[in-house]
Amino acid sequence: MSNVRVRFAPSPTGPLHIGGVKTALCNYLFAKKHGGQFLLRIEDTDQTRYVSGAEDYILEALQWCGLTPDESSQNPGEYGPYRQSERKELYRQYADQLVESGNAYYAFDTPEELEEMRENMKKQGVPSPQYNAITRQYMKNSLALSADEVQKRLDAGEPYVIRINVPRNEEVKVHDTIRGWVVFQSSQLDDKVIFKSDGMPTYHLANVVDDHLMKISHVIRGEEWLPSTPIHVLLYRYLGWEDTMPEFAHLPLILKPDGKGKLSKRDGDRLGIPVFPLDWKDPETGNISSGFRERGFIPEAFLNMMVFLGWNPGTEQEIFTLPELIEAFSLERIGKAGAKFDYEKGKWYNQQYLKNLDSKIIAEQNKSVLDEKGITYEEGYLIKAIDLLKERMTFISDFWEVGSFFFQNPSEYDEKLVRKKWKDNIPTLFDDLQTSLSSLDNFTHEAIETEIKGFMERHNLKFGDVLPVFRLMISGVGAGPPLFEVAELLGKEHVISRMGASKEIFNTICAKENA
């Protein structure tokens, strides 16, 4: 496949939803798979919906994900500008061309007249009124009015829009790489506005003109744009660009976890899960919506989660590096059905990546936690602790929660487990274990394990009788990293001290229960 050029074209009307990230990711993977270019184009023709800071957010989000555009407003190529608001002068000539060829027309209808038309149609039993081949005959446009009347209105500077002239009864066929042939009846299509009274094009015209001028070979976008595609196909035909029309691929929707409807910001707020790549502060309300980055996700893990929403590699492999994703990706392996969002699966991906992340990186990001708590430490000790803790961490920020016992004596103990295990002759026997461990000259995990196994044999005890209690004594919890390695890292002095202190606490806990 030669000359592959794709674009991600978001509107700066708010934060970038993960559905947008999915679109950007698929475009990026497809371009890199075929040695092509990935463009970022900001579609800001609707200035009334422009949100300050949204474009910067989009750029920062793509950068965090590692989806760097080959061409953008920050890295322009020969096909710029890359903001539609800066391409304003390009569009008028094509709108005029469409009017001159009879494939578009001037419409002078006021908002009140349009609303009256819709209400009349509803009264006649039409559930979804449209400005189309039938209703335009009765409206104020250059198809229904005389040429003299039209010119008179233009000369008077009367506001107007330009609408596409959709044929009355025609099949418009669209081939979609994911969905195959999709057929639309033109009688069901609206004469969409393609040029507004403020001198700006609408999405439909600007999208087609820009894709043509930027030599876009494939349009990969969300399913919500599929109903607009026949209008775009007609525009390519009317402008004489049918032979260079890009191939289309419409990605499935990302659904709520229960599969009922498209995932939205409101669902994220309701379920307590992020639906944006980064935190977003609403400039109007000041409210902050949670982002994956701030939740502690590793970018590669986030991308792994995203790509599997609707795509199947055809193998059992679940963990992919970005180069591996590029190699494995194909549009043909994307399904048509919506993909249910699974946040827990996303956490699993993050956990898998965290296990393989260099402990020095995790240590660097957690030094401030220790500093804030006034804890002194050796960097080598911190890194060894993280080596042991990584298997039990989902996020880098979990470090203190799962591993605080490496840096301070336990302040709390799992009382339920204490009451279950600290009974019969166990308290007396653990005096013997404490003495045995105190006598070890070489306090390595191998020596500790050997000593504890010998202790168990001497007293005819099982692992379940000893190891949970020993772990409780030195860490305060009943589960954690490999126990003997934990004891070695803590060192003999701390282990023996904690065993002595915890026995008194365990006795107190059990005494309360028996009181």
* Residues 236/205, Cβ–Cβ less than 8 Å: no
Instruction: Give the HSE-up count for residue 14: Cα atoms under 13 Å, Cβ half-sphere.
Output: 15
176 sits in which H/E element: strand 171-176
> Up-side HSE of residue 402: CA atoms within 13 Å toward CB?
20
Contacts of 297 (CB under 8 A, 6+ apart): 346, 350, 395
Structure tokens given for 276: 């944006």
Catalytic residue among 265, 345, 492, 503: 265
Which residue type, as a one-letter code, is found at position 326?
Answer: I
* 422 DSSP 8-state letter: S
Count H helices, E strands: the chain? 21, 13
Tokens read off for 256 = 């709520």
SS3 content of the chain, % helix, strand, coil (to 5): 50, 10, 35
Burial category of 400 from C-beta neighbours within 10 Å (exposed 0-12, middle 13-18, buried 19 and up): middle
Angle between helix axes 463-475 and 492-514 (nearest 10 degrees) is: 110
What distance in Å separates the CA atoms of residue 208 and residue 237, rounded to the nearest whole number?
11
- Pairwise CA distance, residues 423 & 421, whole Å: 6
Active site residue 265: yes
Which tokens sit at 304? Answer: 């792994």
| Residue 398 per-residue DSSP state | G
d(C-alpha 214, C-alpha 203), whole Å:
16
Active site residues: 265
